[in-house]
Chains A and B, each alone.
Chain A
Amino acid sequence: MCTVLIFHKFHPLIALVGCLCVAWFVQGCSKPSNVETALNENILHFGLGAEPQHLDPHLATSVAAHNILSALLEGLVSEHPETLKPVPGVAQRWEKLEEGKTYLFYLRDNALWSNGDPVTAHDFVYSFRRILNPNLGAQYASMLHPLKNAKLYHEGKKSWEEANVGAEAIDNYTLKITLEHPIPYFLELLNHYSWFPVHRPTLEKFDAFEKMGTPWTKPGNFVSNGPFQLIEHQINSVIAVGKNEGYWDASSVRLEGIRFYPIESVDTEERAYRAGFLHLTQSVSADRIDYLKEKHPDELHFEPYLGTYFYRFNLKSPPFDDLRVRQAFSLAIDRQRLVDKVLKGGQTPANTFTPPGTGGFYPQPQFIHDPKKARRLLDSYLSEKGLERLPPIELTYNTSEGHKKVAEALHGMWNEALGVEIRLFNMEWKVFLSTISKGEFSLARAGWIGDYVDPHTFLHMWRSGEGLNMTGWTNASYDKALKLGETSNSEKERWENFQVCEDLLANDFPVLPLYFYVHLTLRHPTVRGWYPTLLDHHPYKYIYLQKEEAP
C-alpha cells in the first residue's frame, strides 16, 4: 500500500527527471562556444560592462557608448591603433594655419553614409551646430568650446550666424575650423565622439535637432559613416553591429560584425569569458587577479589607462577646513602598499594628480608617505583645538566592491597611523552624485578618466568655480597658471605652468590622489590587432580574429 502511495506521488517527479535527462542528452552534444564559432563567422563578442544610455554621439557620456560609437561613426580624423595619434579619417589631409588657430580639412570624396549619401563638410558643420545647440542640453558640448565663439552660441547669447562660430564649409569637401586660441592637442580632441558627425536627413526626419529621446538611434533608423552599422539593439541583452559595405575603407575591415553584451556584474562577465561566450571583458575584479594570474596568465592583461583615482576633501567641512589635517591624511597613506596588496593590478601609486607622461608631461612626485609627520601635524591640530582625538570622519563612496575594498584599506591605514575612526558610507550612484554636488560630504571617493591625452583634461577640474571641483577650493594663482598652460603655444611654457598647478595642489591638498588606473581585462588570444592604449581606444578596423598558432 505504501509503495503504491509513494509511486503515485513520485509520478510527476519521475516525469520531470525524465524530461531533464532528455534535455541533458540533447545538450550533452554541447554546442560550440561563441569564441569557437567566431573564427568562421568573424564576429567579435565584446563585454560592454554597462548598457549605454545614449547611442546619440552628441548626448553620450559613457565608456560603453564610446565603444559602440567608434564602430558606427567616424570623425574628421581617426586614430592610429597603437599610438592613438591622429590619422586621416573622413578628412584625407589637413593644413594647420596661423600657428594653429585655423585648420583646413580636405574631406575625401568617397566617404559615404550607410545609405549611400556622401559625407560632406556641411554634415560636420550641422553636427557641431547641433551639439552646441543650447536647447539640446548636451553634456559634452563644452568639448567644442575651443571653436571660436562656440561658447557664445552655446550659452544662448548669440545665434549661430551672429556668433560666426568657427566652423565653416568652404565647399562640399573643405571644412575650415577657427579656434579661440591654438590648442596643441586639437587634432586629438577630434576623436572624441562629441565631434562625430550625424546624418542630417535622419535627424530631420525624427525632429531630433533640438530634442533628445527621439528614436533616430534605433536599428533601422541609424545611419552611420563608420566601419559598421547598427543591426540590433535589445536593452540589457545585446547590441549588434554589422559591416558597413559603404564605408570608404571597408576593404581594410576584417571583422564581419561585433556583438556587445552589457553584462554589469563583473563576476558574471568573468564566467562568460571563461565559458568562451566573450572574447574580451570590460574589467576584472581585483580579488580575482591572483587566481587568474595563475590559471589564465596569457589572457589577463594590465593596460595603463589614463585616469586618476582620488578622494575629494570638503574644505567647508571641519576638520578638513584645516590644512594640517588634510596633509596628515595624505601623508598617512602608504600608496605603494595600497597598490601592491589591495589592488594588485599593477596600478601605479599617484604621487601627483596628473598621470606622469600624459602627453609628455612629467610632473614632480609630491604626494608622499610619511606617517610620523602625519601624526605630528595631527597632534599639532588636536592640541590647538584642545581635542584628544578627531571626531569620527565620514567617508562616502558609490556602491562598488572595488571602492569598498579601497575604502576599507584606507580606513585601516588611517586608524593605524592617526588613531582616527572612519565611518564608511556607500550610496547608490544617483544619491552619491546628488550628495556630492550639494556638498553634503566630508571625504568622498572620486575618479577621473582623461578625455584626451593632455594634462589639461585633469588639471582643469580644480579651477575655481569649475563644476567638477566640488571641494570648495579656490586659488587665484592656480587659475592663472592653468590659463597660461591652456593657451600657450610653447610646450616648455605649458609644462612649467602645469607644474605650478601640481605644486599648488600638493601644497594645499584639496584632493587626495591615490593611484593611476590600470585597465584590467581578459582577452582571448584569437583577438589580433588589439593594442593597449592610454585611452582604451581600439579602432575596430584593425582588429581581426585568428586561430592561435600551434606551438
Chain B
Amino acid sequence: MSVEKSSSLGRDAWLRLRANRMAMISLFILIGITTVSFIGPSISPYAYDQQNLDRVFEGPGKDHIFGTDNLGRDLFARTTYGGRISLAVGLLATLVSLVIGVSYGMFSGYTGGRVDAWMMRAVDVLYALPFTIFVILLMVMFGRNFLLLFLAIGAVEWLTMARITRAQTMNLKRAEFVEAARALGYSHGRILFRHILPNLIGPIIIYATLTVPAVMLLEAVLSFLGLGVQAPMSSWGSLIKEGAEKMDAAPWLLFFPGMFFCLSLFALNFLGDGLRDALDPKSSKD
C-alpha cells in the first residue's frame, strides 16, 4: 500500500498557482517587463536624458522605436529607465506599508478593548494629517532623496493596511477555530502566527497588489505637484502625466509608458489573485 506523500502548504500552493493560467501569464509578463526595464537603458543606443533638439515630438520610427519627447529624448530609453524607478518605488513602499500595517493591525485587532481603541484612534489621527504638508516637510528636512520619499509614502499607506488587517483579525478572532485553539491552551503568539495570519494572507496579498499601483500613482500625483522624481529622471508616473496632456498631438508619449504601466498593474493584480487562490488553506485537500 503506498502512502501519499505529505505535501507542505507551500508546495500545494505552488501547484495550484501553476494551474492558474492567468496567474502564470501575469507572472511571465511581470518578469518580462522587469527584465526589459532593467536591461533596457543599457541596450538602448540613447541615454535617457540625451537630448536632440532637432528631433522633438517624433513618432515611432526606425531610429526611435517608441518615438521622442519634447526635447528629442528617446522614449524607449526613458520608458525603461522609468520602469526601474517605478517598480523599485512600488515594491519598496509596499513592503514598508505591509510590515508596519499588518503587525499593527493584527496586534490591535487581536488585543481588542482599550488598546485597540487607542491604536485605532492613533490611526485616525495619522489619517487626517495633511499628506501634502507631511511630504513637503519631509522633502525639505531630508533633502530630495527619493528613496526616503517613498519610505514616507509607504509609511502613509500602512494605515489602510492596518485597518483592513484589524477588521479581518477581529472577524477571525471570533471564528470557532480560534476559540477552539484558545480552549486548547495555545499561546497568543502561536494563534496569531499559525492560525490568524494564514487566514489574513488572502486579503493581505490582494491589498498589497492594490497598494503597488496606488504607490506608483501616488508618485505620479507628487510629480504633478512637483514633489516627485527630479528632472531629468523619469518614472512611469511622470511620463504618463506628460503624455496625457499631449495626447491629441503626440499619442505615443502616453501610449508606450501607459502600456507598460497598465500591463504591470494588470499582471500584478492577476498574479495577486492567483496567489490568493493558491494560498487559501480552505481549498486544500477536500
Q: Do chains A and B touch in the complex (CB under 8 A)?
A: yes
Q: In this assembly, does B57 line the interface, its C-beta being within 8 Å of a C-beta of chain A?
A: yes
- Are A424 and B249 interface neighbours, CB within 8 A? no
Contacts A341-B56, A425-B144, A428-B136 hold; do A408 and B230 have CB atoms under 8 A apart?
no
For the complex, give the distance between the alpha carbons of A426 and B232 in Å: 11
Return B232 CB to nearest CB of chain A, in Å: 5
Q: Tell which of A285, A405, A423, A425 touches B71, judged by Cβ atoms closer than 8 Å.
A: A405
Q: In this assembly, does B34 line the interface, its C-beta being within 8 Å of a C-beta of chain A?
A: no
Q: In this assembly, does B51 line the interface, its C-beta being within 8 Å of a C-beta of chain A?
A: yes
For the complex, give the distance between the alpha carbons of A412 and B52 in Å: 9
- Are A412 and B248 interface neighbours, CB within 8 A? no
Interface string of B142-165 (1 = CB under 8 A from A): 001000000000000000000000
For the complex, give the distance between the alpha carbons of A407 and B49 in Å: 12
Q: In this assembly, does B231 line the interface, its C-beta being within 8 Å of a C-beta of chain A?
A: yes
- Are A267 and B232 interface neighbours, CB within 8 A? no
Return B230 CB to nearest CB of chain A, in Å: 5
How many residues does chain B have at the interface if contact means C-beta atoms less than 8 Å apart? Answer: 22
Return A177 CB to nearest CB of chain B, in Å: 45
A contact residues around B54 at 8 Å (CB)? 341
- Are A291 and B51 interface neighbours, CB within 8 A? no
B contact residues around A408 at 8 Å (CB)? 49, 51, 71, 231-232
Q: Tell which of A288, A404, A428 touches B249, judged by Cβ atoms closer than 8 Å.
A: A288
- Are A267 and B245 interface neighbours, CB within 8 A? yes
Closest to A415 in B: B49
- Are B232 and A424 interface neighbours, CB within 8 A? yes
B contact residues around A342 at 8 Å (CB)? 53, 71
Contacts A405-B70, A405-B71, A408-B71 hold; do A426 and B230 have CB atoms under 8 A apart?
yes
Contacts A342-B53, A408-B51 hold; do A291 and B144 have CB atoms under 8 A apart?
no
A contact residues around B226 at 8 Å (CB)? 399-400, 426-428
For the complex, give the distance between the alpha carbons of A285 and B248 in Å: 14
For the complex, give the distance between the alpha carbons of A427 and B232 in Å: 14
A contact residues around B144 at 8 Å (CB)? 425
Return B224 CB to nearest CB of chain A, in Å: 10
Return B253 CB to nearest CB of chain A, in Å: 10
A contact residues around B249 at 8 Å (CB)? 287-288, 290-291
Closest to B140 in A: A431
Q: In this assembly, does B11 line the interface, its C-beta being within 8 Å of a C-beta of chain A?
A: no
Closest to B232 in A: A408
Closest to A270 in B: B245
For the complex, give the distance between the alpha carbons of A353 and B124 in Å: 54
Interface string of B35-77 (1 = CB under 8 A from A): 0000000000000011101101100000000000011000000
- Are A341 and B53 interface neighbours, CB within 8 A? yes
Interface centre among A267, A412, A423 (most CB of B within 10 A): A412
Closest to B253 in A: A287
Q: Tell which of B51, B140, B245, B248 touches A409, judged by Cβ atoms closer than 8 Å.
A: B51
Return B39 CB to nearest CB of chain A, in Å: 24
Interface string of B227-238 (1 = CB under 8 A from A): 100111000000
A contact residues around B56 at 8 Å (CB)? 341
Interface string of A234-273 (1 = CB under 8 A from B): 0000000000000000000000000000000001000000
Q: Tell which of A285, A290, A337, A407 touches B231, judged by Cβ atoms closer than 8 Å.
A: A407
- Are B53 and A287 interface neighbours, CB within 8 A? no
- Are A287 and B231 interface neighbours, CB within 8 A? no
Within 8 A of A (CB), among B228-267: 230-232, 245-246, 248-249
Return A492 CB to nearest CB of chain B, in Å: 42
For the complex, give the distance between the alpha carbons of A287 and B57 in Å: 9
For the complex, give the distance between the alpha carbons of A341 and B56 in Å: 8
A contact residues around B51 at 8 Å (CB)? 408-409, 412
A contact residues around B245 at 8 Å (CB)? 267, 285
For the complex, give the distance between the alpha carbons of A267 and B241 in Å: 12
For the complex, give the distance between the alpha carbons of A428 and B231 in Å: 14
Interface string of B163-193 (1 = CB under 8 A from A): 0000000000000000000000000000000
For the complex, give the distance between the alpha carbons of A404 and B50 in Å: 15
Q: Tell which of A285, A409, A411, A425 touches B53, judged by Cβ atoms closer than 8 Å.
A: A409
For the complex, give the distance between the alpha carbons of A288 and B230 in Å: 23
B contact residues around A337 at 8 Å (CB)? 53
For the complex, give the distance between the alpha carbons of A409 and B71 in Å: 7
Additional A-B contact list (11), CB under 8 Å, known A287-B70, A287-B249: A288-B246, A407-B231, A408-B51, A408-B231, A408-B232, A412-B50, A412-B53, A423-B230, A425-B144, A426-B231, A431-B136
Question: Which 5 A-B residue pairings sit nearest by Cβ, starting from the closest?
Answer: A399-B226, A341-B53, A412-B51, A291-B249, A267-B245
Residue pairs across A and B with Cβ atoms less than 8 A apart, 25 shown, are: A267-B245, A287-B249, A288-B249, A290-B57, A290-B249, A337-B53, A341-B53, A342-B53, A342-B71, A399-B225, A400-B226, A407-B231, A409-B51, A409-B71, A411-B49, A411-B232, A412-B49, A412-B51, A412-B53, A423-B230, A426-B226, A426-B230, A426-B231, A428-B225, A431-B140
What is the interface of chain A, defined by CB distance below 8 A to chain B? Answer: 267, 285, 287-288, 290-291, 337, 341-342, 399-400, 404-405, 407-409, 411-412, 423-428, 431
